[in-house]
Chains A and B, each alone.
Chain A
Amino acid sequence: MVGNDTDPYQLITTFTRGLIDGGFGNTTFPFGNVAALMAGTTIGNANLKPEKTTSFEIGTELGFFKNRLTIDFSYYRNNSRNQILSIPIPNSTGYGFSVVNAGEIQNRGVELSLRGTPLRTSSGFSVELYGTFTKNNSEVVDLMPGIEQVNLGGYIGMSVVAAKGRSYGEFYAATNATDAQGRTIIDPETGLPLTSPSAQYLGSYNPKYQASLGANIKYKNFNLSALFDAKYGGVFYSRTRDILGFVGVSEETGGDRIGVIFPNSVYLDENGNSIVNTDILYNKQDYYSDLTAGQHMAEATFLKLRTLSLSYTFNKTQLAKSPFGELSIGVFGNNLFVWTPESNKYADPEVNSAGAGNVQGFDYTALPSVRNYGLNVRVSF
């Protein structure tokens, strides 16, 4: 069991210097000679308790065929109680955030790693393979009494929430209204989608599983190694998608732009029944200039060729007449290829603009992971 505390000064509600932020402008005190205070942003919590995490883990490490095949497997279950969260609350309460102890969050999963050498010949040819597989299920078991959901944070209209019974970190925002069959409901006056009357759950940033597969192939002095990384499942919020749509350069804004039918759309008659839209047109510019936050999601699944390298190492006899003790030359590349599903043509799902913390899965028009390649020469004397 491990304990955890929080930043200082979270117990008392305080006042700050008067500052009214109007968006791009502001009114700041002192105003001439007039000083002012205003209520702080966060409600203090005098009853804050430290966090506690209970962990259970069981695992095994096995070796076969004189350790030519090793298996490392573990199963774990962590229950965190009284997690200290600073959660956004409705501004109509008079405050923006509240510091709370949030119930119980459970993480359980498996970690598996395999390493094997299926081929090894006396001629110096060997193939080594290794791989990992991890799967984590998080679940919000319980929140504060009477509370079904807390907001963990977010940006520009998109929130990340912890909702009872769901995984920790679900996206939650307004999106296009849909009918029972998942078809987009449009406004028959304009041809444009209606906004959902309330916020919807839009998926979690947690992947279903992660896996990697690597290989080292050696033949005499040559060494070829490769590592693939994969994440399956989960979604992320892509502001890149938003901006590409806003300025009209993404593929989804292309094709016929004027007077088209919104794909798979319906409108409602006076009884609320869906009628398939076959003739009400809209202009893409009117739609993509102001999308609801929920329309900026993208699938986070990817497969990456993380590293690929080929090297040649000179042996002692080759180096006998040289001043070098060791010499190897090689070429390498990192992040050479990324495969994403058809639906994500926007951004690298691995970028995380929010840094470490509760709010993850935000591509805030961030730079993608760097692809680099080069040549290396390693010598020693």
Chain B
Amino acid sequence: MKTQNLYGAKKLLILLLLSTVGIAGCKKFLDINENPNNPDTATPSLLLPTVEAAIGQLVGNRFQIYGNIWAQYWTQNTTSSQYRSLEQYSVTNTAFDTDWLITYRNALQNAQLIINHSQPNSEHLKGMANILKAYTYQLATDAWGDIPLSEAVKGSQFASPRYEAQQVVYDSIFNYIDLGLALFNAENATAAGEQDLLFQGDIDQWRAFANTLKLRAYLRLSQVDPAKAQAGIAALYASNPTFLTTDARIAYTTTGGNDNPLYSEMVGLGYTQNLVASGTAVRQFNRNNDPRVMQVYVPVETNGALEDTIAYIPQGSYRENSGKRVSPPSALVAGNAANPSSAVAPVKLISTAESFFLQAEAGARGWSGGAADVTNLFNQGITASFAAYGIPEQAAAYISTAPDAQLTAGANNIRLIMTQKYYAMCGFQGFEAWTEWRRTGYPEFFVQSAASTLGAGRLPLRFLYPNTEITTNLNFPGSIPIYEPVWWDK
């Protein structure tokens, strides 16, 4: 009896084991609801490149075009028409649908999926996702002001995400950066390697990027809440931070779909040269006898030879100058549709020059603690910009002679630091340049577009909310006109 029983139990166990395998197999191979074409899970290291590429499309294409036109580096060409509504300041809500989609669905959504992921040892990837989330929220709030935040990218849990004040968004940005920095301290975390398009998994670079981003974000509050900006920057400097000494940038190749986003856009538009040099920026480069002007724009050809100056038109004057040949931006900044090397221009999330100018501004405001060598940081910024434009050897002469490079003591410093930062961002960082102008009012030489339909004295100070939110989000707070400043813009 006893043996028989045991034998029976064994048989039962084997049968049970077999049936478990059978059930598991069933679930795996016969579930008709599982889509065989698309996976239903994704690891953090497969999601990270999507987040970075999405930011690349925003900063390098959509925001780049708006930014470079509204920062008056570029203007609509006289022989084409793609961006006339930007010059007229008459863009509609629909124009921003794609920007919003990339922001929330491609960048923030996938960043959040990394942060929520249960895979062990993915602290570094999660740290990067937090920093990129902070970066994207800053882009979004600087563009649109109040935006969905704590209820955003939560799928059907919040079918109509509530909008939160820009002040709250900024508080969260600092929080995300701190979360990211803390996660970088984890040991034994899996390295991101080549899946990280920005720094190839180099955590020291990520720390510097996070610190520089934090400095940028606090300085953005300099007009609306200087006390908070000062305290935040003091705490940042007290942590003995490293700042970027190389560009935080994504490199592109000539392969279609892997090429520079702005160039890819121009290819999609049939190689039309819509963007050309604006007089607002070119005149100032010329006034300072600045050799960078020949690097960021391409002279037009007459009788087979390149002219030795840049041909420009006043901002938005495509109608008055109909048919006139104007210099396009150079391939160095991906702006030349006719030059295939535009494809390999990088997209810069934060540039080396910007890093130095941010530190210089913190120093000039007396917020960086100790005795900051503002002049040195300022000159390093200019030198880094000359290097980025491929003429490092000409920086010294410019620093010693250009009127806008002569730093003296006093409030004047902020004006010169911002103006130099403006020159350094030409073509590469249009949105940030326009944003810093909104914050500080520098540079002071912006004009109203000749094509403006906005009424006297008005300039664009924000993006419009996208039409998709107006029609689908039941908590949509209402449209705000393009000339209304955002919260930090005092």
How distant is A96 from chain B, measured CB to nearest CB, in Å?
6
Task: Give the interface segment out of A36-44, A206-214, A216-224.
Answer: A36-44
Question: Which residues of the other chain, B, contact A286 by a CB distance below 8 angstroms?
Answer: 88, 90, 453
Q: How many residues does chain B have at the interface if contact means C-beta atoms less than 8 Å apart?
A: 87
Q: A376 at interface (Cβ–Cβ under 8 A)?
A: no
Task: Give the interface segment out of B2-10, B168-176, B261-269, B397-405.
Answer: B261-269
Q: Are B195 and A90 in contact (CB under 8 A)?
A: no
Q: A128 at interface (Cβ–Cβ under 8 A)?
A: no
Q: B20 at interface (Cβ–Cβ under 8 A)?
A: no
Q: Are A23 and B268 in contact (CB under 8 A)?
A: yes
Bound complex: CA A33 to CA B261 (Å)? 18
Question: Which residues of the other chain, B, contact A198 by a CB distance below 8 angstroms?
Answer: 470, 476, 478-479
Using CB atoms, name the residue of chain A closest to B105: A91
Q: Are A34 and B195 in contact (CB under 8 A)?
A: yes
Interface string of B126-157 (1 = CB under 8 A from A): 00000000000000000000011000111110
Q: Are A195 and B479 in contact (CB under 8 A)?
A: yes
Q: Are B53 and A157 in contact (CB under 8 A)?
A: no
Bound complex: CA A173 to CA B92 (Å)? 12
How distant is A210 from chain B, measured CB to nearest CB, in Å?
28
Question: Which residues of the other chain, A, contact B62 by a CB distance below 8 angstroms?
Answer: 22-23
Q: B411 at interface (Cβ–Cβ under 8 A)?
A: no
Q: Are B85 and A289 in contact (CB under 8 A)?
A: yes
Q: Are A94 and B61 in contact (CB under 8 A)?
A: no
Task: Give the interface segment out of B94-102, B239-247, B309-317, B357-365.
Answer: B94-102
Q: A342 at interface (Cβ–Cβ under 8 A)?
A: no
Bound complex: CA A322 to CA B361 (Å)? 104
Q: Are B470 and A94 in contact (CB under 8 A)?
A: no
Q: Are B264 and A36 in contact (CB under 8 A)?
A: no
Bound complex: CA A24 to CA B261 (Å)? 10
Bound complex: CA A44 to CA B100 (Å)? 22
Q: Are B267 and A25 in contact (CB under 8 A)?
A: yes
Interface string of A8-29 (1 = CB under 8 A from B): 1101111110101111111111
Question: Which residues of the other chain, B, contact A14 by a CB distance below 8 angstroms?
Answer: 35, 38-40
Interface string of A141-162 (1 = CB under 8 A from B): 0000001110100101101010
How distant is B37 from chain A, measured CB to nearest CB, in Å?
8
Question: Which residues of the other chain, B, contact A96 by a CB distance below 8 angstroms?
Answer: 101, 105
Using CB atoms, name the residue of chain B closest to A15: B42
For B469, give its contact among A12, A23, A92, A95 (CB under 8 Å): A92
Q: Are A29 and B101 in contact (CB under 8 A)?
A: no
Q: Are B100 and A15 in contact (CB under 8 A)?
A: no
Q: B382 at interface (Cβ–Cβ under 8 A)?
A: no
Question: Which residues of the other chain, B, contact A283 by a CB distance below 8 angstroms?
Answer: 453
Interface centre among A26, A27, A93, A194 (most CB of B within 10 A): A27
How distant is A28 from chain B, measured CB to nearest CB, in Å?
3
Bound complex: CA A11 to CA B33 (Å)? 7
Using CB atoms, name the residue of chain A closest to B38: A14
How distant is B316 from chain A, measured CB to nearest CB, in Å?
13
How distant is A14 from chain B, measured CB to nearest CB, in Å?
4
Q: Are B159 and A93 in contact (CB under 8 A)?
A: yes
Q: Are A93 and B98 also in contact (CB < 8 A) when A27-B53, A27-B261, A187-B455 are?
A: no
Q: Are A39 and B105 in contact (CB under 8 A)?
A: yes
Q: Are B61 and A23 in contact (CB under 8 A)?
A: yes
Q: Are A93 and B38 also in contact (CB < 8 A) when A22-B102, A37-B46, A39-B113 are?
A: no
Bound complex: CA A21 to CA B474 (Å)? 26
- Contact size class for A? 35 or more
Q: Are A199 and B268 also in contact (CB < 8 A) when A14-B40, A15-B41, A20-B57 are?
A: no
Using CB atoms, name the residue of chain B closest to A161: B471
Q: Are A36 and B53 in contact (CB under 8 A)?
A: yes
Q: A290 at interface (Cβ–Cβ under 8 A)?
A: yes
Using CB atoms, name the residue of chain B closest to A17: B38
Interface string of B175-217 (1 = CB under 8 A from A): 0000000000000000000110100000000000000000000
Q: Are A151 and B471 also in contact (CB < 8 A) when A9-B35, A38-B110 are?
A: yes
Q: Are B472 and A88 in contact (CB under 8 A)?
A: yes
Bound complex: CA A172 to CA B101 (Å)? 20
Q: Are A36 and B49 also in contact (CB < 8 A) when A22-B61, A95-B105, A289-B85 are?
A: yes
Q: Are A92 and B100 also in contact (CB < 8 A) when A23-B62, A36-B53 are?
A: yes
How distant is A17 from chain B, measured CB to nearest CB, in Å?
9
Q: A292 at interface (Cβ–Cβ under 8 A)?
A: yes
For A26, give its contact among B38, B148, B264 (CB under 8 Å): B264
How distant is B476 from chain A, measured CB to nearest CB, in Å?
7
Q: Are A20 and B50 also in contact (CB < 8 A) when A9-B35, A27-B57, A149-B474 are?
A: yes
Interface string of B463-486 (1 = CB under 8 A from A): 000111111111010110100000
Q: Are A22 and B35 in contact (CB under 8 A)?
A: no
Q: B304 at interface (Cβ–Cβ under 8 A)?
A: no
Q: Are B39 and A290 in contact (CB under 8 A)?
A: no
Using CB atoms, name the residue of chain B closest to A96: B105
How distant is A282 from chain B, measured CB to nearest CB, in Å?
8
Q: Are B253 and A32 in contact (CB under 8 A)?
A: yes
Question: Which residues of the other chain, B, contact A26 by a CB distance below 8 angstroms?
Answer: 57, 257, 264, 268
Question: Which residues of the other chain, A, contact B50 by a CB distance below 8 angstroms?
Answer: 18, 20, 29, 36-38
Bound complex: CA A35 to CA B256 (Å)? 15
Question: Which residues of the other chain, B, contact A293 by a CB distance below 8 angstroms?
Answer: 92, 94, 467
Q: B112 at interface (Cβ–Cβ under 8 A)?
A: yes
Question: Which residues of the other chain, B, contact A195 by a CB distance below 8 angstroms?
Answer: 92-93, 479
How distant is A362 from chain B, measured CB to nearest CB, in Å?
15
How distant is B431 from chain A, measured CB to nearest CB, in Å?
14
How distant is B336 from chain A, measured CB to nearest CB, in Å?
15
Interface centre among A148, A161, A190 (most CB of B within 10 A): A190
Q: Are A289 and B100 in contact (CB under 8 A)?
A: no
Using CB atoms, name the residue of chain A closest to B62: A22
Q: A266 at interface (Cβ–Cβ under 8 A)?
A: no
Bound complex: CA A195 to CA B257 (Å)? 37
Using CB atoms, name the residue of chain A closest to B478: A197
For B57, give its contact among A16, A22, A31 (CB under 8 Å): A22
Q: Are A25 and B33 also in contact (CB < 8 A) when A39-B113, A198-B479 are?
A: no
30 pairs of residues in contact across A and B, judged by CB atoms under 8 Å: A9-B33, A15-B40, A18-B50, A20-B102, A24-B267, A25-B261, A25-B264, A34-B49, A35-B49, A36-B47, A37-B46, A39-B113, A88-B468, A90-B473, A92-B148, A92-B153, A93-B155, A93-B161, A94-B109, A95-B105, A148-B474, A157-B92, A157-B467, A173-B470, A189-B456, A195-B92, A195-B93, A197-B478, A289-B88, A293-B92
Interface residues, chain A, with chain B CB atoms under 8 Å away? 8-9, 11-16, 18, 20-29, 31-41, 43, 88-96, 98, 147-149, 151, 154, 156-157, 159, 161, 172-174, 187, 189-190, 192, 194-199, 283, 286, 289-293
- Nearest first, the 5 A-B pairs at minimum CB distance are A189-B455, A25-B264, A24-B268, A28-B257, A94-B109
Interface residues, chain B, with chain A CB atoms under 8 Å away? 32-35, 38-42, 46-50, 53-54, 56-57, 61-62, 84-85, 88, 90-94, 98, 100-102, 104-106, 108-110, 112-113, 147-148, 152-156, 158-161, 194-195, 197, 253, 255-259, 261-269, 453-456, 458, 466-474, 476, 478-479, 481
A20-B106, A22-B265, A38-B110 are known; give 8 further A-B pairs, CB within 8 A: A8-B33, A25-B261, A35-B46, A91-B100, A91-B101, A94-B109, A174-B471, A293-B92
